[in-house]
Structure 1
Amino acid sequence: MRSICGDLLLQRLGPEGPAALARPINRSLYECIRAAILDGSLGPQTRLPPSRDLAAELGLSRNTVMFAYEQLLAEGYVHARTGSGTFVAATAPEAYLNAKAAEAKSAQAPSMPGLSPRGAELLANASASPSQWGAFMPGVPDVTRFPRRRYAQIAARLWRNPVPAWLSYCHGGGLPALREAVAAHLRVARSVQCDASQVLITEGIHQGIDLVVRLLGMPGEQAWVEEPSYWGIRGLLQMSGIHMVPVPVDEEGLTIPAQHHSGPCPAPRFIFVTPSHQYPLGAVMSLNRRRALLEYARSHGSWIVEDDYDSEFRFSGHPIPSLQGMQTEAPVIYIGTFSKTLFPGLRMGYMVLPRTLADAFQTAHSELYRAGHLVTQATVAEFMHAGDFAAHIRRMRLLYGRRRAILADLIERYLGANALHRYGSNAGLHLVLCLPDDADDVAIAQEAGRRGILVRPLSRYFLGNVVQRGLLLGYAGVPEEEIGPAFEILLGCLGDKGPSRGRRSA
């Protein structure tokens, strides 16, 4: 069996092999290895195959390979360790070597086609943060409190003797045991009307939305999105050619535009909502507004996409039931995720589909994404069936409630009660800190980032020209003893742009 190095050298020596080269074979081999070192293909400390093995791989004499190695050794490109082998030396900084190679290639290579207009627009409006952990990163749970030992015990046992089918591709919407566990949880915790046949396991909410838009939408059709709304939805809709119509939210949630009640305006194909905890402002959609939205969608042939991203974490009052569960066979596609309840790196979510769509979506999911991770799905399924999932949520709900109370108290104490957004409910993983209209929340967020505090500017969540200024502060991943010191740093970033009413010196 050839080594990776042998494969590389055979490709570079040419399809006819070393014997077809005009110059001496030993010199050609030396130059080939040297070029691979210089362009970074063979990086520093890469172990070269033993001369006897490489000779057999390339169909050369051992003396030919030894000549190349000795020449490279003499020039300092490699070094030998007695009893260990021959290794690429750090003859120059790796970054320098790669930079020189890149310069040479760019000077010789013809110009390449650029990004498409929609690809360029996506990158121009990219909002994903390079840092995903620390005070006050929104939307991130406390992954340090995840019961890793219990989860690892389940995973280790399943890996000792996995079902062979678990190591292949996934078909049919996910592992049946996990679909059953998700359906059972949603029926009790969220009043979702479903059984396992309607559940589709995805790799997060983004994939679920992407599948919805691909199967049910066409370029040029309209989608209502909350104003403000989650930035991730926008990129997916934009890349699919769906026209986004920002619809304002108030204290009761999404408002149905008046002209759509009485006028001939075209109905949207999709209505994207976060009714249990509006993202990012925090409003809970009222019962009357939910009924009106369901009636509108049913009478106009629109699909409601209900994003129930963090509804498990409500710290007071009664749980808010799902929009999907209010009507039998409602025109609602329910989407949820394990990113907030377990950990984001799991990359696992779920959809609950109307019965008429379930089979089609399961087949399309297999066709488009070639899903897998069945051993992981089996682990999560057992984690849920054994009661560990529900117990973990109960523990984290208490923890996050305490952390929210600490942060909210600090905001009210130093910035005044009006500094908290009036739509905010006692739920979720973040708060919204209001700022004056003339504040530059983007600049404040950047300054906070330079001081090690991660926040998101509220204005970036608006599609239209009328925006609100503020900061999203995530508290879930911040230990109680670190909330105060981090908040003090944030106060320093606000300067005279923080809410002044009731403000005290920190």
Structure 2
Amino acid sequence: MATTALSDWLAHRLERSGEKPLYRQLHQLLQAAILSGALPSRAKLPSSRLLSAELGIARNTVTQVFEQLMLEGYLVATSGRGTFVSEGAREDQSAEPAGHEAPTLPSTLPNLSERGRRLYADAVVFERQPGAFMPGVPDLARFPTRTWNRLQKKHWQRSPEKVLNYAPPGGHAQLRSAISDYLHSARSVRCSPSQVIVTTSNHQSIDLAIQLLTDAGDLMWIEDPSYWGTRNVLQASGLALKAIHVDDDGIAPSKSDMATPPKLILVTPTHHYPLGMEMSIHRRKMLLGYADEHNCWIIEDDCNSEFKYGTKPLPSLQGMDGTGKVLYIGSFSSSLFPGVRIGYIVVPTELAQSFAIASTDLDREGQELHQAVLADFLDEGYFTSHVRRMRVLYKWRRELLILAINERYGNQLRIAGGDVGLHLTLLLPSYVDDKRLVSAAHSAGILMRPLSSYFMGREESASGVLLGYACVSDTAIRPAFNTFADILDRFLVKAY
């Protein structure tokens, strides 16, 4: 099928006013064309820029569909040559009749609901995590495993039956107390141990808040851009999500946004993810006043606040809240290691019992052994010492990465964000297809995330890449970046 013929075929089948999203329609149509043989193996597809222009749809929609079809094995991208139908795309599909139209469900997703298919389509999973330049992954080799093992052995010897059981409602009592003490001293969070509910992750904390504080169809504000993993949890919740623009001061709702108050507002005030700015005092006061006036709940995700490399971060939003409207969440995945699977949500006093009981009833929490070990790790000062050491190390690696960027590009490219977190965001010219760039980098063994995939309002998306430095050794940063830069240089040549 020639490029023009493919565009015409797609244009006649896309339902512009239909309920099904365009990206889902385009995905199913291209998949059907491949399965039917209309797009044979090794056939070259038009570029995302050309196809979006010919179909009259957003380029980000096309690139999202291309990337999903690559993940499913239907397409393959070759750096410098384009996107092609995979040779194995029709394998085990010989029964598909010629001329077969878009199937009701993708063949790789049998019996999933529309919500399930949407969640699958937006999921981003990599078999390999540590390495240049995967954001959000700590240096696991520096974790004090001997100390952790010693504390763990103590609990095995002291009370093996107890740590094998379900955790009590709200989590291990000593851990709830230790988290409360730590948050009070480090982040000015005002809470008692009973207000701390131990969870497995930020995702579970957010999902718990949604289950207890909202009903299907309720309005929720989410920063745009925002962390794709959190956004996927919210999109599967049945809430009406509204993407709110961010500026240098943080979330920036317009007058029209504020005219319809939401039930929930999710923000990352200490370190906006992924752009890195810190919410200003003025914006914090505005948000707290608005929530109080309109009876909104605020979920404060205090991601990576431990790793602030310049001045101390501002006190938590929860610590500034005088009306009990803020729920504060965090986890130990980045500060310790992802496999620990322990997070927490700090809730207002009047919600504490209901959250503790609901968490136990919904999830039947285990992990009491890890919770008990972590409690000792916090109480005996090992956590503070570990974070202090890693903060020095990550600051140095951040500076090495910035130096490598500046030596290669000078003022040509801009780095977004402040001096906090485990990644930098390198902003790119709008004509650079960051998803294709990331795909090419992955083929060369360099891992990263495209900035455009963090935007919910696709028309507002920007081009860039998130470069994580925490899990990259000092000596590997410069050569890894130079490998990536050689690929990036080809994308920086603007094609007309």
Relative to the length of structure 1, the TM-score reads 0.74
Please say if 1:490 is aligned against 2:487. Answer: no
Name 2:77's counterpart in structure 1. none
Question: How big is the shift at 1:171?
Answer: 2.2
SS of structure 2 residue aligned to 1:321 = coil
CA deviation map 1:365-393 (0-9, x unaligned): 00000001111111011111111000000
Aligned to 2:123: 126
Map of 1:434 onto structure 2: 427
> CA separation in 2, counterparts of 1:370 and 1:292?
38
1:35-56 C-alpha deviation (Å, 9 max, x unpaired): xxxxxxxxxxxxxxxxxxxxxx
**Matches for 1:387-402 after TM superposition, within 5 Å:** 387-402=381-396
- Kept in 2, the 8 Å contact 1:231–1:461? The answer is yes
Q: Output one character per residue of 1:336-392: Cα deviation in whole Å (capped at 9) or x when no partner.
A: 000011000111101110001110000000000000111111101111111100000
Residue 463 of structure 1 pairs with residue 460 of structure 2: no
Partners of 1:135 and 1:154 in 2: CA distance: 32
Q: Which residue of 1 aligns with 2:380?
A: 386
Alignment of 1:102-501 (within 5 A): 114-162=111-159, 164-261=161-258, 265-417=259-411, 419-422=413-416, 424-464=417-457, 465-498=459-492
What are the superposed Cα offsets for residues 194-253 of structure 1, whole Å, 9 maximum, x if unpaired?
A: 110100110011111111111111111111111100111221112110111110111100
- How far apart, in 2, do the equivalents of 1:496 and 1:316 lie? 35
Conservation of the 8 A alpha-carbon contact between 1:179 and 1:196: yes
- What SS does the corresponding residue of 2:298 show, helix, strand or coil? strand
String of CA shifts for 1:130-154, please: whole Å, max 9, x gaps: 3211100000111110000111111
TM-aligned CA deviation for residue 458 of structure 1: 0.2
Q: Deviations over 1:441-464 (max 9, x none)?
A: 001101111111001000000011
Tell me the amino acid that sits aligned with residue 211 of structure 1. L
Query: Are residues 499 and 394 of structure 1, via their aligned partners in 2, closer, same or farther at CA, if it must alter by over 3 Å?
Result: farther
Residue 392 of structure 1 aligns to a residue whose secondary structure is helix
- State which drifts further: 483-492 or 313-322: 313-322
Per-residue deviation, 1:418: 5.4
Residue 31 of structure 2 is matched in structure 1 by: none
Native 8 Å contact 2:219 2:240 kept in 1: yes
Q: Aligned AA for 1:370? A: R
1:420 is displaced (CA, Å) by 3.1
Change in Cα spacing, 1:309 to 1:258, as seen in structure 2 (3 Å) is same
Give the AA of the match of 1:324.
Q
Deviation at 1:165, TM superposition (A): 3.0
Percent identity of equivalent pairs: 44
Q: Following the alignment from structure 1 to structure 2, what is the Cα–Cα distance between the partners of residues 466 and 122?
A: 22
Taking the aligned partners of 1:216 and 1:418, their CA distance within structure 2 comes to 46
Does structure 1 retain, via aligned residues, the 8 Å contact 2:329–2:345?
yes
Q: Which amino acid aligns with 1:359?
A: Q
Letter in 1 for 2:227: Y
Contact between 1:412 and 1:420, CA under 8 Å: does it hold in 2? Answer: no
Q: Structure 1 residue 499: deviation in Å? A: 9.4
Contact 1:411 1:420 in 2 (8 A): no
Measured against aligned partners, the alpha-carbon deviations of 1:392-425 in whole angstroms (never above 9, x if no partner) come to 0000000000000010111122112452334x10
Aligned-pair CA distance for 1:301: 1.3
Residue type at the aligned position of 2:315: P
- The answer to whether the 8 Å contact 2:292/2:323 transfers is no
Contact 2:414-2:428 within 8 A present in 1 as well: no
Q: Mean alpha-carbon deviation: is it higher for 112-121 or for 135-144?
A: 112-121
Amino acid corresponding to residue 269 of structure 1 in structure 2: K
CA RMSD of aligned residues (A): 1.8
Aligned-partner residue type, residue 237 of structure 2: S
Q: Which residue of 2 aligns with 1:70?
A: none
2:269 maps to amino acid: P
In 2, the alpha carbon distance for the partners of 1:285 and 1:160 equals 46
Paired with 1:282 and 1:499, the residues of 2 have a C-alpha distance of: 28
- SS of the residue corresponding to residue 452 of structure 1 reads coil
The residue number in structure 1 matching 2:61 is none
Query: What TM-score, normalized to structure 2?
Result: 0.76
Return the alpha-carbon distance in structure 2 between the equivalents of residues 416 and 221 of structure 1: 47
Unmatched tracts of structure 2, length 5 or more? 1-90, 96-108
- Report how many aligned residue pairs link the two structures: 388
Q: Is the 8 A contact 1:314 1:426 kept in 2?
A: yes
User: Per the alignment, do residues 129 and 244 of structure 1 end up closer, same or farther by CA in structure 2, a change over 3 Å counting?
Assistant: farther
- Structure 2 CA distance for partners of 1:247 and 1:260, relative to 1, 3 Å: closer
Shift of 1:255: 0.3
Verify the 8 A CA contact 1:138 1:430 in the aligned structure 2.
yes
What do the CA deviations read for 1:4-49 (whole angstroms, capped 9, x no partner)? xxxxxxxxxxxxxxxxxxxxxxxxxxxxxxxxxxxxxxxxxxxxxx
Q: Structure 1 382/359 Cα, relative in aligned 2: closer, same or farther at 3 Å? A: same
CA contact (8 A) 1:138 1:473 kept: yes
Partners of 1:434 and 1:499 within 8 A in 2:
no
Q: What SS does structure 2 have at the residue aligned with 1:194?
A: coil
Distance 1:499 1:402, change over 3 A: farther
* Residue 327 of structure 1, CA deviation: 2.3
Deviation at 1:298, TM superposition (A): 1.0
SS of aligned partner of 1:421 = strand
Partners of 1:179 and 1:317 lie apart in 2 by: 28
